[in-house]
Amino acid sequence: MAPKDPSKSTSEIVAVCIPCFNEELTVADVVLSFKVALPNSDIYVFDNCSTDKTAALAKRAGATVIPSTNPGKGNVVRHIFSSVHADHYLLVDGDSTYSAKMAPALLSFARNKRLDMAIGRRCTPPEELTHAYRPMHQLGNLLVCRLIQLSFRTPLQDVFSGYRIFSREFAKSIPLRSPGFQIEVEMTLQALSKGFRIAELDTPYTSRPAGSFSKLNTYRDGLLVLSTFASICRDYRPQLFFAFLGSCLALGSLAAGLAPIYDYWCFRWVYHLPLAVLAVGLAVLSALTFCIGIILETQLKYHNELFFLMRKRLNTPV
């Protein structure tokens, strides 16, 4: 008996969504490989202002091509979530670096564990590591993952993967703001902060074929990712964020106050008056920052309660 196709389930709709910008060398192969891996799924290519033959080749391969005219991967993902209606959304890059053969396993993994987000954790053979990843990308991934692990107490190891499966509930309820490639980090942090179920599954990752080039800018996009991380932490982990700022200000106050304290201890007189004023100012700012964190954490608690009630109502049959 042939194995059951994971994309074929009673009344379940699986949408394979492929955001593309100038991927004429690979898009047809990606579409065809997912048609083989998930024959009962709906395949969409969202053409993000391509200037080559991406749209025509994707359509010829059998995909539904949808123009997405607002530049940036984050804008395309928002377009996907708002315009496609499915039970499971498989998001994959159109550069042929992810294996379509892993799609049934990733879909089964998401379904069996009832996940809202299943991430294909990239595993690259050692001989291809330097070709698949730029050295700074490896360092950036390690740094950001470590920050997220510490901030959100999660074992996730690959927050930049472009191979993911989402539940309908996540796609239709999560607010996304990032316009560009930092969207993967934002989706991960939003899922963690709002209590969605998320897990990783190892999946092969290879280098781009000859003639295909990455659109990422290592330093510019790296700064955008760190900015997104700081923004999410400020909004969804305010106590941690402002406690860190308050601690930095407190340490600055202590450093500035060492000389005035020494003056008063030895001479009963403060000779470094400007440093004394600076130390007091930093101490006041530190206390205010800690208080802001406490207030925002309380507001976040009520925000999360309202969000959970909204999710519960959306999932309750009428």
Strands (DSSP E) found in the chain: 14-20, 42-47, 64-67, 88-91, 117-123, 164-167, 198-204
- Residue 304: pLDDT above 70? yes
- Residue 189 neighbours by CB distance under 10 Å: 23
224 and 295 share one domain? no
Do 84 and 172 fall within a single domain? yes
Q: Quick one: pLDDT band at residue 217, thresholds 50, 70, 90?
A: low
Q: What is the dihedral of CA 253, 259, 265, 271, to 10 degrees?
A: -120
| In the predicted structure, residue 11 carries a pLDDT above the cut 80 | no
In this predicted structure, what is the pLDDT of residue 207? Answer: 72
Render pLDDT for 142-201 as a digit per residue (tens, 0 to 9).
778 888 888 888 999 888 899 999 999 999 988 888 888 788 888 998 899 888 999 999
Q: What is the pLDDT of residues 244-298, one digit of tens each?
A: 999 999 999 999 999 999 998 999 898 899 999 999 999 999 999 999 999 998 9
**Residue 20 included in any domain:** yes
**35 and 59, same domain (yes or no):** yes
The verdict on residue 21 lying in a domain is yes
Kindly state whether residue 260 falls inside one of the protein's structural domains: yes
Quick: pLDDT tens for 46-102.
999 999 999 999 999 999 999 999 999 999 999 999 999 999 999 999 988 899 999
User: Across all residues in the chain, what is the average pLDDT?
Assistant: 85
| Residues 38 and 163 both lie in one domain | yes
What's the number of domains the chain is made of?
Answer: 2
Residues 42, 113 within the same domain = yes
Tokens of 2: 């042939």
Q: Residue 222, SS3?
A: helix
Average pLDDT for residues 224-235, to the nearest whole number?
A: 76
Give the domain-ending residue among 236, 269, 285: 236
* Within a domain: 295: yes
Q: Is residue 7 part of a domain?
A: no
Question: Do the domain assignments include residue 60?
Answer: yes
Beta bridge partners of residue 45, listed in sequence order: 18, 65
pLDDT tens digits for range 38-58: 999 999 999 999 999 999 999
6 in a structural domain:
no
CA distance 117 to 266: 62
The CATH number of the domain where 164 resides is what?
3.90.550.10
The residue among 208 and 39 whose pLDDT is bigger is 39
Query: Which residue segment(s) compose the domain that 280 sits in?
Result: 238-314
Helical ranges in 194-272 per DSSP H: 218-236, 238-267
Is residue 281 within 8 A of residue 303, CB to CB? The reply is no
Q: Which of 220, 236, 252 is the last residue of a domain?
A: 236
Sheet holding 88-91, edge to edge: 64-67, 42-47, 14-20, 88-91, 164-167, 117-123, 198-204
Positive or negative, the Cα torsion across 87, 70, 120, 189?
A: negative
Q: Are residues 78 and 161 in the same domain?
A: yes
Structure tokens at 278: 């600076």
Tokens of 227: 């900015």
- In a shared domain, residues 126 and 202: yes
218-236 vs 183-193: helix axis angle to the nearest 10?
Answer: 20
42 in the same domain as 86: yes
Answer yes or no: do 25 and 72 share one domain.
yes
Helical (H) or strand (E) element with 167? strand 164-167
- Domain co-membership, 80 together with 224: yes
Least confident of 107-111, 127-131, 146-150, 171-175: 127-131
Mean pLDDT calculated for residue range 226-249: 86
Last residue of one domain, picked from the residues 205, 236, 267: 236
* 8 A C-beta contact, residue 293 and residue 287: no
Examine the domain organization and report whether 145 and 260 are in the same domain.
no
Output the pLDDT for position 126. 55
Q: Which two tokens stand for residue 43?
A: 């395949």
- Whole-number pLDDT of residue 2: 41
Distance of CA 221 to the CA centre of its chain: 13
pLDDT for 3 beyond 50: no
What is the maximal distance between C-alpha atoms in the chain?
92
| Same-domain status, 200 and 281 | no
In a domain, 215, yes or no: yes
Provide, rounded to the nearest whole percent, the portion of the chain with pLDDT above 70.
Answer: 85
Quote the pTM value: 0.78
